[in-house]
Structure 1
Amino acid sequence: MSGATISTYASLHDVELCAHAAAGERRAFGELVRRHGSAIRGLLRRMGAQGAEADDVAQDALLAAFERIAEFRGEGTFAGWVKRIAARQYLRRLQREKRLAELAVEGTDDEADATAGDADHRIDLDEALKVLSPAERLCVSMCYGAGLSHGEAAEALNLPLGTVKSHVKRGLEKLRARLAPAESATAEGRRSNG
């Protein structure tokens, strides 16, 4: 293929790239990988996969997406579709390694509390996710990072729906407390002055 064709891929929408990839144009899929590969690895890290493991699962998910590209109908985003594939593959890997059972049982203990006085520092999501238990992090990442519904996450994790909802609720509460220390301090100041 010529350089003009390759640069043409960069200007195409994901749905168009998927159609080209489904027709056998590997470079079109390569453009999708270039666009979304790091976001997939980021989601997997947020779910608990470490460095090389996140890379391996992302690669496996992208390979599965390539093999099933004709199934993508464009009803949602390509990124969301492949993130769901990656999340499910990571969960299967956890199940194979018997770590999922441990993660599902853990999480009722509060882990390290968010440090007060961090209002002057920028807090990123990866750091904030560290205050969550592994089960909370996994459920929040699946529902908000991979775009699965609570029911889909419960099915994938083989957990009761209420358990997943509880992990998500507790996780979001911890994230709000961690990511909004300035608001908390302001509200506390108003209560003590009022």
Structure 2
Amino acid sequence: MSNVDAESDKRLAAAFRAGGPEAVHDVYRRWSPLVYTMAVRSLGSVPDAEDATQQVFVAAWRGRAGFDPDRAPLASWLVGITRHVVADIHERRSRERQAQEATTMTAEPVVDPDTAHLVDRVMVAEAMAGLGDPQRQILSLAFYEDLTHAQIAERIGLPLGTVKSHIKRSLQRLRVRLEVADDAS
């Protein structure tokens, strides 16, 4: 770049920063091909690149007070804005793609935990109803009243070993019945 072009760019940058009405037009005419080329190469879409180019120059105009010509030339500042705009568009695309994938996936039916718990309780109650006494009574005392084996033996008047045997056999029967019921559903 010649000294004449560099001086012209500096004057244009100063006029742009000052908010000169013709400056935005001149800055756009001077650097929009650079911004557009970067956008179209990254985004791969002409309409998206056109939108990105517009967003870059609108952002630059609105943020022109933050431009410091002593830190970097106007072209470099515009390239930085372009990178941010392009990254935002890529991020937006990614979010849209994820949202679309989420809505098109077949979701597992949502089961209310309270409903699932209620179904489990009904199944256990039905399986326990199939047990005869004293097994049903012993399991009810153990699980619904939270009694120890010794307390159950004392309450119903059976030896401790008999209570333990009834609990073990009853749990095995319940497991088989619930597994069969689970396999059927």
Q: Given the two structures, how large is their TM-score scaled by the length of structure 1?
A: 0.42
Q: More relative contact order in 1 or in 2 (CA 8 Å, sep 6+)?
A: 1
Structure with larger Rg: 2
